[in-house]
Structure 1
């Protein structure tokens, strides 16, 4: 008799983790397409302002003020150039709100509400890895696109110093020129995702994530100027205003007494000299940030936003681990 050799049992198939990065891109390809269109349109607008638009506006500028820049006159030709620069600045400044809404509603809130997140956790994807994919992929895409727009904006802003721009410290210009533009969407992404995990409902997470992000952005913008030391300009009582270099953001303003104390502007009425003597005022003063403070202010605000983002991400992982323990 021939011995029968039992067939070897097939080796168990290796379970490979689901490709969460590609899954996130596939599930949210609509948002990805919208983001790519926004980046392309904003970059194209800024490049037009850097090249052909600048040539046309420069010719118009020289016709309107050939000798004295302070006496320049402009016609409606400047409006197209202004919009081409201003709209990308607004997009960079307020991109954080739609990002927070999308992160809270579509990225986490909807999947927690309809149960697809729990289904993914049973398909060889751990809750932590699921959340990493949900945050890391959008963060990389947002950072890449925003970096391109910031670089193109700086190129346009520095190459064409027409008096069409508001000052460097004007909010939208300030954001679009530096690292704050990169930190804003990352902070919004983290806050939106956290609200989605916390509420586990689409519409409430959308509303709360957007509201919290708006509050954080506004509060950060308000406190940042006071977190870097102000410079102080003074002027005699015969002057109208302390001299500063160009248009700058101002802080505290008022009068200096003969002891060096600061007092607010008094209501003097008609007799200015007697009023100054009564208050022992000897000079005007004004706190301000010169242009050299641009990068310190940028880094302070960027640090606050990234700190909030890190805290939100840490809280999200803690919350997820507690609910799935």
Structure 2
């Protein structure tokens, strides 16, 4: 008597898809721990500068710099206060680069290279849900951490009792004081993930994602001041350049002719008056952004970065779907072989 036994097809998966959020946190717990340590250290440094460090540094400042800030000699107390604020600012300004490297290499590139992503797609997680989990969880963690640091930095910055060259217009201070600090790592995450999907290799995605993120951050910083109207200050030729103080962001500077045209400052010899006459110059001018332009500039740059983020995320999902529909990433579920038993 001979009987033929055929194995049943795999049972359909029931219930909810796998918790990709918990999976991302578990797989990248080392990066999560490093991020929590960075946030705690930066927040602690800023809070220390807000409290006891500010009191001690201000006392030293009053004693050593009573009148002339340029003649002031900083001691270790004042330097300690400056570093306590400056280091978190640098961390917030350049956080985007390690985020892009991590997203391109560890988050996406490595899983595409070693086949882990393809294996997940044959289980209970669809490619789209896999990518959502890969992006949403780090985005939430980065947003919460950077928001906390921005709030603590603003608290410290606004309570700064004396001038230590922490001006709003300095790049690192500008970033750490507003929404740009939140948008930068989100943009880096999206660009890193996109390069990981494009290259599907760990090291190339790390390099390209970091380079592209740096380029986007640099260009956004360069174009933003020109997207909000500059104010212009003028001064007569008998005076020096327009005196605006240190609490402004300077733009174009030069000289005005009698017709109102702008010319760069000429190279003059000993006869300044004759030089001005030869160039038809009638006044100095300087474009600038005052402190009241801080939030318009912040929101413009944030909008640019979030626009790039949305474009990168949309492109990443389109690329993933295209590869699936063309069969490049299709991997059928394994089936048991049929056999005969005597």
Q: TM-score, normalised to structure 1's length?
A: 0.93
Residue 132 of structure 2 corresponds to which residue in structure 1? 132
The 1-side partners of 2:243 and 2:61 are apart by 27
Q: Is 1:195 the counterpart of 2:195 in the alignment?
A: yes
Residues 180, 298 of structure 2: 8 Å contact kept = yes
Question: 1:246 Cα deviation (Å)?
Answer: 3.6
> Aligned residues, how many?
315
Q: Which stretches in structure 1 are left out of the alignment for 5+ residues?
A: 1-10
The 2-side partners of 1:209 and 1:157 are apart by 32
Residues 54, 161 of structure 2: 8 Å contact kept = no
Residue 102 of structure 1 corresponds to which residue in structure 2? 102
Residue 240 of structure 1 corresponds to which residue in structure 2? 240
Residue 163 of structure 1 corresponds to which residue in structure 2? 163
Closer/same/farther in 2, CA of residues 219 and 12 from structure 1, 3 Å limit: closer
Residue 17 of structure 2 corresponds to which residue in structure 1? 17
Q: For 2:252, what is the secondary structure of its paired residue?
A: strand
Residue 219 of structure 1 corresponds to which residue in structure 2? 219
Over residues 213-267 of structure 1, what are the superposed CA-to-partner deviations in whole Å (9 max), with x where a residue is unaligned? 0111111111111111111000000011112254322111111111111111122
Residue 287 of structure 1 corresponds to which residue in structure 2? 287
Residues 234, 243 of structure 1: 8 Å contact kept = no
Root-mean-square deviation over aligned CA pairs: 1.6
Question: 1:74 Cα deviation (Å)?
Answer: 3.0
Q: Structure with the greater relative contact order (CA < 8 A, sep ≥ 6): 1 or 2?
A: 2
Residues 187, 309 of structure 1: 8 Å contact kept = yes
Q: Where in structure 2 are the equivalents of 1:231-310 lying within 5 Å?
A: 231-310=231-310
Question: 1:66 Cα deviation (Å)?
Answer: 4.3
Residue 89 of structure 2 corresponds to which residue in structure 1? 89
Residue 143 of structure 2 corresponds to which residue in structure 1? 143
Closer/same/farther in 2, CA of residues 20 and 89 from structure 1, 3 Å limit: same
The 2-side partners of 1:110 and 1:12 are apart by 29
Question: 1:161 Cα deviation (Å)?
Answer: 3.4
Residue 153 of structure 2 corresponds to which residue in structure 1? 153
Residues 102, 192 of structure 2: 8 Å contact kept = yes
Q: For 2:305, what is the secondary structure of its paired residue?
A: helix
The 1-side partners of 2:23 and 2:76 are apart by 49
Q: Which segment drifts farther, 35-44 or 238-247? A: 238-247
Residues 245, 290 of structure 1: 8 Å contact kept = no
Residue 51 of structure 1 corresponds to which residue in structure 2? 51
Where does structure 1 differ by over 6 angstroms across 4 or more consecutive aligned residues?
none
